[in-house]
Structure 1
Amino acid sequence: MAGVIEMTARRRPLSPLLTRICDRSPGLVGALLGGAVAAGLGLASFAVLVMMLWITSPYPDSGPGGALHVAAALWLLAHGAELIRTDTLAGVPAPVGVPPLLLLALPGWLLHRAARDATDGGAPNGDGGTDDGVGEVEDIAVIMAPPLVSARTAWTGVVLGYLAVAAPAALYAAGGALRPSWVWTGVCVPLVAVVAAGAGVWSANGRPGGPLRRLLGMLPAGVRPLVLGPDGRPGVAARAAAAGAAVLLGGGALLVAVSLVGHGAAAQAALLRLTEGWSGRFAVLLLCAALVPNAAVWGAAYALGPGFALGAGHVVSPLSSAPAPFLPPFPLLAAVPEAGEGRLAHWAAAGAVPVAAGVVVGWVVAQGAVSAERGGTRPGGGRDAVWPPGRTARAAAFAALLCAAVLAGLAALAGGPLGVTVLARFGPVWWQVGAATLAWLVLVAVPAAVTVRAWRCREPQADGPGIGKQRDEPAEGVGEGRRPRKRTRAGRGWFTRTGIAGIAGGDASPPDGDAKPKTSSPAPDAHCALFGDDALYGLQDQQDDTAYETYQAYEPYDFLPADPAPEPYDVLPPPDSTPGPGTP
């Protein structure tokens, strides 16, 4: 027993480095496991879908091993990696670089969820237990507590765990008919993992604005508030760019849908000619659904003017269409306009989309300009808070630049090669789409923003004479022969600008004498009072004491009679002197 006590007493504590590793290892191991599980779930989803189509196919070209190779290759294609098809008729390997953008949603969502759960520690209530009914104080404490795992540890573990599964999957796919390009695989898969995991960690930490501000440090100081507001929300230019991109993509999808309805017979014939079995047609429909975001980007490129290419030398645009005649039948390709010069209906339909996007961008920027949303200025901050026309125009131009960058990136992702020589160009050209977006939005959004701002600032003037007329006309029989009271700076305040004192012209303080009534002249509306502080709290005060408005003064109870008659219920009834029947 003494020996045990001696050995226990001589035990030395762990070194600081070992203690730190032991403290961090559970979080790192959990993050590694979460990233590996996210990659495994993505691969399993693609494998189940491909195996189901292979089983139901009446003429399978290969065994289950080939189907699994195709599933791994499609999973890599969903990340943006380019594939190489080896079994071609000419014997020359052909690249397949058009990734269905809808497939990217599954890996991105799995990575985002894994990083968020790794940061939170996987315990919704903080200790992994259930609610024991102690109260709401513990729930509030758990919400306010920092994440259990540091952001760097969670992000690193999820990314490494995901790549640890992606590397063997790429090696396995290299043995199939669709082989991944090692350059594109080494760039796209880690990039998707880094971005999606970073977004998950950022979301788990409450979406702080510090990391975004550090990323925006390269921008000029006057431009940063337009991208990220002081309260961490997106700035005016960012919101306007997002709205413009949504209108462009929605308009492009609408053009594709209308064209498909107009060419419904050709699309149906293409579906029936492409395959005979119901399983093959179901696979084609799934592929069309996965390519819907690509079709929306292509429709937006068509509406903007540059259009898209269906092979080298075959550009489809509103001005002219030259579709390639050697393309296989495909339902989405049936929506391509016929070859020849563009019609007036094509020009009008295509031109309406960028014009609508420019108007929306200008409207959003004008809303931020009128509501005084900038740097450290609070909304409704007074005359100096409303943006001048030059600043409004610059904000609209910067929003157009952001929207052009977004459309250029989407155009680069939505297109790619589908072969060599003629099919080396398939889809929109990213720099042409970006330049066309910038030109359209600058020409439409800047004048729209300035015009809407001026209109919103002029709108309250229509109500100004009515309010001034109420001030000029004194109330009849109220305070006649009394001297008006002149307002002083001591009387200014929030309560003097609301209710009767701010709108109907009554003074908030009792009068101190008699004088003749004096009318006031309405103050000039030199700025937009509709969205400012004065529109919420009443009419604006004058800047000079001598120019302050005077009002018809009256006592608070002048409208009551001098000796009001008592109400019936205020007078007690006299006691009944008549004796009752039982009284002696």
Structure 2
Amino acid sequence: MERVNLMTVHRTSPAALLARMRDREPGLAASFLAGAVAAGLGVASFAALLMVLWVSSPYPDSGPGGALHTAAALWLLAHGVELVRTDTLSGAPMPVGVTPLLLLALPVWRVYRAARDAVDAPDDADGPPPVPARTVWTGVVLGYLGVGVAVALYCSDGELRPSWAGVAVCLPLVAAGSAAAGVWSAYGSPREPVLRALVVVPGPVRRLVFGADARARLGTAVRATGAATAVLCGGGALLLGVSLIWHGAAARVSFLQLTEGWTGRCAVLMLGIALIPNAAVWAASYALGPGFFLGAGHLVHPFASHPAPMLPPFPLLAAVPDPGVGTPLNWAAGVVPAAAGVTAGWFVARGAVDRAEPGAPVSARWSVLRTAGVVLLTAVVCAAAFALLAELAGGPLGVAALTRFGPVWWQAGGAVGMWTAAFAMPVALVVRGWRVWGVRARNRTAEGERRTGNPAQATDTLPGKETASGEAEGAGEETAQGKETTKGTKGTKGANGRDSGKGEHSTRPGTAPGTTAADAEELYDFLPADDPFPSDLDDDLARVSHRSALREPADAHAPTEAPTEAPTSPVTPEPPPAEPRPPLTDPPSDTQEPPDTTGVTPGP
């Protein structure tokens, strides 16, 4: 009823509402079904692969029931559940606890997509609201665990039996974590739930580590951790590839001797591909220094490699360094964790400085001490992330000497934290200072250019002296051509001393002397929309423009004649002089008035 009311408020059309209701059934039941379908598809994919290998195998040891039991056990192993092998030569059960990380990615992805699709967030605002997060998470997890428990019960009487402790711990953790990530992503990845999870941290520790801007610090630390972990695992994969090429002959022989027939070799190849992420984590732990165990008491690290116990030939095991003391070539693997630390420091430095817009003042988000604190936080998060990967990548493969395979999680995690703090700290501080100095220098340059003006505009002004306010005065040119004023009309003297006519020159207020009409119009395009000139002034300007057009000669070689138009102001016409006067020796001053009819020039 609540959903119908909400959809009514959004005024969704009845046809669209019915189509939407047919598309899905909202609520807990749909989420439960989505989780069960995700688990069923995972089991079906493993079963299909194993059945193909069983059918194509020339020597099937068991019927289709055995293949289905093996597929179910492998599906549980992909969640981190430890298996127990019962068909041993000694009759004692042997644990199998090495989880292929590539197989772990498959159920995680399926649960993630199931939870994200069950939210059913609408694409438009008129659609119905998404399913509540708690409802989706609960339904998906319950549906997935229901199928998981059924699969564990099915393979509990097979040759590979699940450990019920692993079923009770690992299976719910994978389902709950993946479903929570899917729901969180469907709702737009809000940060509030992540920040609320920090409530478990004591208050003094939370304020000391995160401070007031916990969101920014934690987000930067997580991004830096993701980048550093990617570089670390990628570097481990690179070391693995180089070692496999170096020991290519041994890897080829082990691949050919392990089994016969293309079916068995395809199975070995697929198993090797599934274990490549595990081998990359092992190689990364080797580069960090603690190394990894290749059986109880057989440690492999850059400074020494103990002889491994008698193991069956496997292509990935051929990449293990030769027994003996390490050489500088083995020590060169330390470049990988150093590169990871530099990457983490670069990401922290990016978060320490706000990204200012061009021309805007730069502001450092964190001081030097707070940047160092974020680096330490990143080191802690990196250590926790890699410790989890190291724990998942290793495990037992039997008893006695086969109980320890892979890196030790707390040693590998501690080494990652120290490498990250050692290399990320100077990089973060130096890059932060460089970014702050560079952006401030650009801002100062831009501010100086704004104060001095655009240099290209200086070439458009008339030649002459510039005043303090930036106006270009054409004083010399005005002296040669005659002085102009903006006070009204003014007569000009010809060579014979008589008035050649009365001209007018009008400029708009606020324009610089010597500015043309086009320049004035361009300048006035930036003024307010209100007309700053009265109507009578516009009429005067129109008359002046018309009079100037009449004064222009039709022919360039024709002599200039005075216009016959009467002056604009009501002035009494002057009678012709009684006799011509000789021309003045000195040019008349600006204050000299026109001669009167008596021929006597009045005083100033």
Q: In structure 1, what is the equivalent of residue 101 of structure 2? A: 101
Following the alignment from structure 1 to structure 2, what is the Cα–Cα distance between the partners of residues 463 and 31?
54
Correspondence for 1:255 among 234, 239, 262: 239
Q: In structure 2, what is the equivalent of residue 135 of structure 1? A: none
**In structure 2, what residue type is equivalent to 1:171?**
L
1:81 matches 2:81: yes
Give, in angstroms, the shift of residue 323 of structure 1: 4.0
> Which deviates the most, 102-111 or 204-213?
204-213
Matched-pair contact (CA < 8 Å) for 2:354–2:362:
no
Q: In structure 1, what is the equivalent of residue 377 of structure 2? A: 398
TM-score, normalised via structure 1 length: 0.71
Give, in angstroms, the shift of residue 439 of structure 1: 0.9
Following the alignment from structure 1 to structure 2, what is the Cα–Cα distance between the partners of residues 44 and 166?
13
Q: In structure 1, what is the equivalent of residue 413 of structure 2? A: 434
Following the alignment from structure 1 to structure 2, what is the Cα–Cα distance between the partners of residues 398 and 370?
17
Comparing both chains, which one has the higher relative contact order based on Cα–Cα distances under 8 Å and sequence gaps of 6 or more? 1
Instruction: Trace 1:34-433 onto structure 2 (pairs within 5 A).
Output: 34-120=34-120, 140-142=124-126, 145-147=128-130, 149-219=131-201, 220-221=206-207, 223-224=209-210, 229=215, 235-348=219-332, 350-371=333-354, 382=361, 385-433=364-412
Task: Tell me: CA distance 1:452–1:421, structure 2 relative to 1, closer, same or farther (3 Å).
Answer: same
Following the alignment from structure 1 to structure 2, what is the Cα–Cα distance between the partners of residues 426 and 380?
57
Give, in angstroms, the shift of residue 472 of structure 1: 8.1
Following the alignment from structure 1 to structure 2, what is the Cα–Cα distance between the partners of residues 562 and 263?
85
SS in structure 2 opposite 1:141? Answer: coil
SS in structure 1 opposite 2:161? Answer: strand
Structure number with bigger Rg? 2
**In structure 2, what residue type is equivalent to 1:94?**
M
Following the alignment from structure 1 to structure 2, what is the Cα–Cα distance between the partners of residues 142 and 469?
52
Following the alignment from structure 2 to structure 1, what is the Cα–Cα distance between the partners of residues 444 and 184?
53
Task: Tell me: CA distance 1:201–1:326, structure 2 relative to 1, closer, same or farther (3 Å).
Answer: same
Matched-pair contact (CA < 8 Å) for 1:478–1:558:
no
Task: Tell me: CA distance 1:151–1:463, structure 2 relative to 1, closer, same or farther (3 Å).
Answer: closer
Following the alignment from structure 1 to structure 2, what is the Cα–Cα distance between the partners of residues 70 and 61?
12
SS in structure 1 opposite 2:124? Answer: helix
SS in structure 1 opposite 2:215? Answer: coil
Following the alignment from structure 2 to structure 1, what is the Cα–Cα distance between the partners of residues 415 and 430?
23
Following the alignment from structure 2 to structure 1, what is the Cα–Cα distance between the partners of residues 234 and 392?
17
Following the alignment from structure 2 to structure 1, what is the Cα–Cα distance between the partners of residues 28 and 347?
44
TM-score, normalised via structure 2 length: 0.69
Aligned-CA RMSD value: 3.5
Task: Tell me: CA distance 1:562–1:185, structure 2 relative to 1, closer, same or farther (3 Å).
Answer: closer
SS in structure 2 opposite 1:282? Answer: helix
**In structure 2, what residue type is equivalent to 1:446?**
M
Task: Tell me: CA distance 1:152–1:457, structure 2 relative to 1, closer, same or farther (3 Å).
Answer: closer
Give, in angstroms, the shift of residue 152 of structure 1: 1.6
Q: May I ask how many residue pairs the two structures share in their alignment? A: 457
Following the alignment from structure 1 to structure 2, what is the Cα–Cα distance between the partners of residues 151 and 341?
56
Following the alignment from structure 2 to structure 1, what is the Cα–Cα distance between the partners of residues 133 and 426?
44
Q: In structure 1, what is the equivalent of residue 562 of structure 2? A: none
Following the alignment from structure 1 to structure 2, what is the Cα–Cα distance between the partners of residues 32 and 255?
44
C-alpha distance after superposition, 1:358-388 (max 9, x if no partner): 1111111111112279xxxx99985664432
Note the residue ranges of structure 1 that are not aligned, 5 or more in a row.
1-23, 127-138, 486-505, 512-554, 565-570, 576-584
Following the alignment from structure 2 to structure 1, what is the Cα–Cα distance between the partners of residues 124 and 98?
48
Task: Tell me: CA distance 1:370–1:65, structure 2 relative to 1, closer, same or farther (3 Å).
Answer: same
Matched-pair contact (CA < 8 Å) for 1:97–1:415:
yes
Matched-pair contact (CA < 8 Å) for 1:372–1:379:
no
Task: Tell me: CA distance 1:41–1:228, structure 2 relative to 1, closer, same or farther (3 Å).
Answer: farther
C-alpha distance after superposition, 1:431-455 (max 9, x if no partner): 0001101111111110111111222
Following the alignment from structure 2 to structure 1, what is the Cα–Cα distance between the partners of residues 29 and 301?
53
Following the alignment from structure 2 to structure 1, what is the Cα–Cα distance between the partners of residues 392 and 405?
11
Matched-pair contact (CA < 8 Å) for 1:270–1:330:
yes
Note the residue ranges of structure 2 that are not aligned, 5 or more in a row.
1-23, 473-509, 520-548, 556-604
Give, in angstroms, the shift of residue 299 of structure 1: 1.3
Task: Tell me: CA distance 1:351–1:484, structure 2 relative to 1, closer, same or farther (3 Å).
Answer: same
Following the alignment from structure 1 to structure 2, what is the Cα–Cα distance between the partners of residues 411 and 243?
17
Give, in angstroms, the shift of residue 256 of structure 1: 0.4
Percent identical residues:
57
Following the alignment from structure 1 to structure 2, what is the Cα–Cα distance between the partners of residues 82 and 464?
60
Give, in angstroms, the shift of residue 308 of structure 1: 0.6
